Each structure stands twice: as C-alpha cells, then as structure tokens.
Structure 1
Amino acid sequence: MYAAFYSGMRAMRTKLIDAKEELGGFMRTYPEKLVWDVGGVDPIHCERLIDSLEKQARTFDPTLVLGQEIAQMERQDDIFVLTSKTGELHSTRTILLCAGRGMTQVQKLDIEGANRYELNNLHYTVTDLSRFKDQRVLISGGGDSAVDWANEIVKLAKQVIVVHRRNEFTAHELPVAQMKTSATVMTPYSISRLYGEGDRIKTVALEHSETGEIEQIEVDEVIVSHGFDRDFGDLLKWGLDKEDYGVSVDPRMRTSIPGIFGAGDFITYGSKVRLIAGAFNDAVLAVNSVKLYLDPSASDMAGVSSHNARFFEKNKAIGNEGRANLNVIQS
C-alpha cells in the first residue's frame, strides 16, 4: 500500500493486485495487536493502521484489483504479461513484488482432539482482547506474536502463562524483558495434551523438553502462536534468485530478473530490517528503481511532499477545507 502511494508521488500509473478480497496482508491476522514501532505514529491497533495505509494508498487513484491470485508470468519483448488464476490478463513494463509472507496458513497444535476446542477457548489469533479479562490464559510460542499478546493480555487477565519449547525466545529483546516481569514464563516446555469438559479446555499438560517431566495447569483460555506456513503460489517458479528467507534483491531492490523489483517481507538482502518501518523504506527504494528503469533521466527520488508538485492542489484543497470549517465555527 505504501509503494502504491509513493509510486503516485513519482507520477507513475499504478495497479495494485491482491489475491485477497481486502488489503492489509498479514496484518489482518492481528487486528487488535498494538503496533509501537512505526515512526511518528502513536501506538496503534493493526486494524486502524491498515485503514490509514489504505486511505494513503488511494491518494493518487491507483487501480485496485482484489481477489486475483497471479498464477503465471510471461515476458513478451519488454512487456510482462501476468495471468491470474481466474483468467484475467495484466500487462506491465515493471513489477514490484510485495508478497509479504505469502498466502499464510496457521500452524495448528498437532495434538489429537485439539480441533474440537477451536470454536471455544483454543485460539490461533486474537480478535477481541476483552474475552481474556479476569481469565487464566496460557500462551504457547516464542516469537514476536506470542510475546506481544502476553504483554497485552497480562494487563487485563487474572494470570498469563507463557510456554516455550526452548529456553531462548526469538522475539525482540525489550518485549521479552517486559513479559518476564509480568507473566509466568515456563521454559523449556511444550503442550503435550489437552483435557477438557465438553468443548472447552480445562487443563493443559506441559512436558519439559529435556527431562520429560509433566506438569498440569488449569486454564480458562489457550492461545497457540507457533507461526505460519508460507505459500507463495507460483511466484517462486518465475526463476528469481532466492535465499532461505526470501527472494534476493540488491541494495536498490532489484531482483535477478530485470524489470522485477521487490519490497517487504518477501525479499531479503544483507541489511534487511523485518519491521513495518523497514518495509516502508524498501518500498521507497524499489519505486525509485522502477522509475529509473522506465526513465533513466528521472531524478533518483521523489521530491519531499512539502515541495512535490503532485501535492499542490491537494494542499490547497485541505487549506480551503480548514478555512471553511473555521468560518463555520466563527459564524
């Protein structure tokens, strides 16, 4: 979405194609998760951040195509022809791949009978924090999501227990330190069995990863945050160079195929920062490279918004709207 906005700043025609029926990508998985690390933005829930990004993306009226997963790419002279799984064709001189984590599928708890509790108190994501108020909540996982949920839920739950199969967490250091001061942390343990009454979990059996010792914990709610399986469909069949975690790009976000660029979690390079803020910077670098690919005589980057001609009329409209509101108040 930010790439679509910045492409508009560079006066390029832009088409944004998404396999899903709504924009937002992986952030849709955690609508109530608080995001703290976007520059100049107060802590904001993912859902609100998505809304703001979508509004910004629409600034220069890009063409939005939703619900189309691209299945095939062909090059015809200097034109790429993209074919969706539903048969639509899209022609373009350049492609910017912002596929994020792809079509994600949650890694579910691999324990017999676990699925019977999914509609009640076994959760793989959190959409409503209020349901955990005054509850005993067990969270299984060691990544950023598990730790972030623990730090959010501990503010209103009766007790939060975090279980991880390793001693070390893979989440960022500060949230881990915060979690350890407020939640009960059990490592190295993993869930070995669930005991329930009807369709609700009542007790969780935890197995020590080294000794095999079993502990049983009474719970009201269980959150499993073991990550996601990633599926990029046919994108990885295009012949792009790739590494263990993403398609390889150079410092200017160029892939191994001329005319195809990348940004965000889909790509990897030496100093890659896997944060939303890092994806914004990837998008700027990639769009600038697209512009130079199409027009080598263009400037290296867009002018800052306060001096960019594309904003003159928009700034004037905002100013007129503000004066109109002031007149209403004065009258």
Structure 2
Amino acid sequence: MDGTLVQRPDRTAMLAALERLVLAESPSFDKARCDACADQVADLFRQRTGVSALRHRRHDRGDHLEIRIGDGAEPIVLLCHHDTVWPEGTLARLPFQVDGDRVRGPGSYDMKAGIVEAAFALEGSSPKRPVVVLSTSDEEIGSASSRALIEETARQAVAVLVLEPAASGGAIKTARKGIADFILEVEGRAAHAGVEPEKGISAIEELAQQVLALKALGDPAAGTTINVGVIDGGTRPNVVAAHARAEIDVRFTRASEAERVVGAINDLQPKLAGARLRVSGGVDRPPMERSAGTIRLAQLAQRLAGEVGFALTETSTGGGSDGNFTAAIGVATLDGLGPDGGGAHADSEHLLIASWLDRTELLRRLIEAL
C-alpha cells in the first residue's frame, strides 16, 4: 500500500441495497418483473448519486437504464445488467442469505452485486470526466435489444468498465471468447425401414456425418470449440427419418477464427445423395480480444488494487458479456470488476463480501484515475 487513505464502503447499506435488488426477481423474458427491478436500480442510483435515470423503453423486452453523471466528451462507461437467468419464484427455494462473508441468492453474484458496487463507488468518487452507467435487461439472452445502445454509448467513451463478477478467485477478465449459435436442419426422405429402406434418405444418418464434419472444424489449440449440444430427428424406429435437427454452439478467441468457422458452417454440403441442408444462425457476440487498451486498463487496476491492499490477477474466459461488443468496436474494455464468488447460474451462486467491499473501493479509484 502507498499510504493513500482507503475508504471503506458501508457494508450494511450495500447489503441492504443488494437485498432489495435480489428480492426484485428479474428473469430476462419477464418484461414486467425486469421493469420492476429497473425501478429499484433507478432508485438506488438516485439515492447514491442524486441523478435520475434515463429510461430507454422497450415493448419487446425490459426497459434499459442510462445514468449520466457529469457533462463533457469521452466518458467512462460502466456496464451492468439487471436481468437474471432465474425464473420467477426461485427465491422460495433459494432465499437471499448472508452467512459470514458470503451472500447467497439468485442473481446476487451475476450480477446485481455489480450494480450496487457501481452505485456506491460513484457516491464516494470525484471523477475527472463524465461517467455513464448502463443497466440493461437482456444480457442473459444475448442483448439483442440493448446492443445498439451499448455500442452507441461506448463509441464515445475513453474506457468501458464491466461490472460482471470476477472469475472465481478474483481475477479480472481481459479476454472473452466470442459466441456463434447455429441450427442445422436436414431433410431426407421417409420410407419403411423393413420393406423398402433403399427408397429412403435418412436425415439422421446425414446429420451424424455432419456432426463429425462440424467437430473437425474445431481448433482447441487456437481456442476454437464446436459443441453440437442438442439433436433430434425421426418419428418411429421403423421409419427412415425424413427430418433431423441440431443446435450448435461455437466459441472462438479471434475474429479471424469466427470468419473461418462461420463461413465453413454456412457452406456445409450434404453427404448423402438427395439430402438437403438448411443452416440458420450466426455470430451472437464477437470475441473480446486482449488489446493494448485493455492491457493498460488492467495494469492500472492492478496498481490501484495494490494501493487498496489486495493483489489482482487477470484471466480469460469462454463465456461472453456485453464487454465483447465494446471491445470489438475498438474501445478499451476491462471486465470482471464485480466481486469474487462463484456458482453463476447455479444453486451454489454466492459472492464474497470482503472482496465486494475492496472492489468497490478499487472501482472508485479507477474511475478517478481515468
């Protein structure tokens, strides 16, 4: 530590704020509940910063919030989302709980604690430039309705700080894989499997060969993986299958790999004479590559964490976030600034309070340093 006075966030107030957000269950596809949670987020920032949120209203998804603090060019953008993967009623089974240094509850770690962290860090900060907070309602389902807002806001920014939770162990995230999703549909020809199978074209046999071709496109050493996660097809065991279908997940670390694999999938050709293929889908999130700007942000965060009194490491991850979008348009982006913990999207979801408080102070200093 360098002797700089370390401010300690108000643990009790932060826990109370987090409890209010967790109790406002907000499954991504439930607009009414996402909007009710957005109300709580807006109240939190109004109480802590004195600024009222601008509401970007949507008819198809929950509304998105923009909190703009200060005027001027080249703001710092803080990215958050208030939707969760958890269905309404999960609290009855997994209630909000504080147990020593651990907080449990659906959406607590991913990522309502990050929203609270942002509000409390801003309350105690004196930034040299404007700050824009975005809290969106559809991150867990691909950000289709918020992507344009995120990219438009980020293009004006000097840096984007993503309040997604830290990797388990506390590392910040300086790279994320991109994601593409595809559906491969196969049309064959039905026939009686016992009487005249030769008149059929098995869509399942065609799909089996395509699965092997898809797996061959992967390059794990380059960070490119292809997973055929769902398949279905056929009607009865004594009928040559006329239809089959596969859902495909593709992950990649570089845009060049995305271009290669996406092109190859769109160019798939049938293996069996008479079979037909239909491919739909594409890239959902570009990769967040470890750019020079991201490295500079990470180094700054590591120095400031040392001043607060803890070591900060960095890592990459196969999961995506809205930081993928901002990094892909060339804006310096640092992810995983939320608290340490674990169990995202699982019953074991939890965050560590000591880490959360330390990272709130880190975020305050990072905002002031940029």
Higher share of residues assigned helix: 2
TM-score over 0.5 (shorter chain): no
TM-score by length of 2: 0.28
Higher relative contact order (CA 8 A, sep 6+): 2
